[in-house]
Amino acid sequence: MSILPKSVQKVIDEFGRLPGVGPKSASRMAYHYLRSPNQDATKLANALVEMDESVVNCTKCFNVADQKECNICSSPLRKKDRLCVVEEPLDVVAFENSGVYDGVYFVLGGVISPADGITSEELRFKELKERVVELLSDVDELEIIIATNPSLEGEATASYIYDLFKTLLKEGKLKITRLAMGLPTGADLEYADRLTLKKALEGRRDF
Ligand SMILES: [Zn+2]
């Protein structure tokens, strides 16, 4: 049985569920909030609830947004003839922070990973197809840049996307490219620095 008050143990358990946080860090974080003045714990709790209640998925790219259409999709400055397909919202953040891309995005929601029980059904392939058709009605030529991570699952997912658009490719309005592998195998796109992302994007090749 834990010697800690139940409420403290509960907070430690919740922090412990965060990615990259072990039991020790979780305890330290809990004690930080226990000790800190200015109602920091309440502020954190309120911020989390507000995020949970207000954040939606953009209806076009499925990135996290605070309105139906995110700032990127609704911006007239973004080129609509380039669609960068990424795994997670944090990959969009990596590209945006690097400032090397001016097209639009599509967030798949993960990669196909049989080991983790993630099949194509769980990801947004149907929505991707719809978005591509929608964009194609507006532009003469569309480039899909597949920017899944250079992992086994990322590669398998890239192939799946390619197969998805085989028929459309024949019509000649579509081009599919893959980020150059300046990114080391197994690297995570969200942690790539600006130069690496720039090189990966500039060196992209036909799928
Ligand atoms: Zn969007």
User: CA 53 to CA 16: how far, in whole Å?
Assistant: 23
Rounded to the nearest whole angstrom, what is the distance from the C-alpha of residue 37 to the centroid of ligand 1?
Answer: 39
Task: For the chain, list the domains and their CATH numbers.
Answer: 6-54 (1.10.8.420), 56-206 (3.40.1360.10)
Tell me how far CA of residue 129 lies from CA of 79, 111, 164, 201, in angstroms: 19, 16, 8, 22
Distance CA(71)–CA(63), nearest Å, equals: 10
Give how far Cα 186 sits from Cα of 62, 152, 154, 192, Å.
24, 8, 9, 12
How many other C-beta atoms are found inside a 10 Å radius of the C-beta of residue 99? 10
Average pLDDT over residues 24-47: 92
CA of 158 to the centre of ligand 1 (A): 21
CA 171 to ligand 1 center in whole angstroms:
26
pLDDT, residue 2, reads: 72
Query: What pLDDT is attached to residue 203?
Result: 86
Q: Assign 196 a pLDDT band (cuts: 50, 70, 90).
A: confident
pLDDT tens per residue across span 147-188:
999 888 999 999 999 999 988 888 889 999 998 866 566 667
d(CA 80, CA 182): 26
Residue-wise pLDDT for 83-120, tens only, equals 999 999 999 999 999 899 999 999 999 999 988 888 99
121 C-alpha to ligand 1 centroid (Å): 21
* Mean pLDDT, rounded, for 10-32: 95
Backbone angles phi, psi at 134, to 5 degrees: -65, -45
Distance of CA 203 from the midpoint of ligand 1 (Å): 25
CB-based contacts of 185, cutoff 8 Å, min separation 6: 150, 151
Q: Give 73 Cα–ligand 1 centroid separation in angstroms.
A: 4
Distance (Å) from CA 100 to ligand 1 centroid = 18
Q: Rounded to the nearest whole angstrom, what is the distance from the C-alpha of residue 117 to the centroid of ligand 1?
A: 27
Distance 77 CA to ligand 1 centre (A): 13
3-state secondary structure of 160: helix
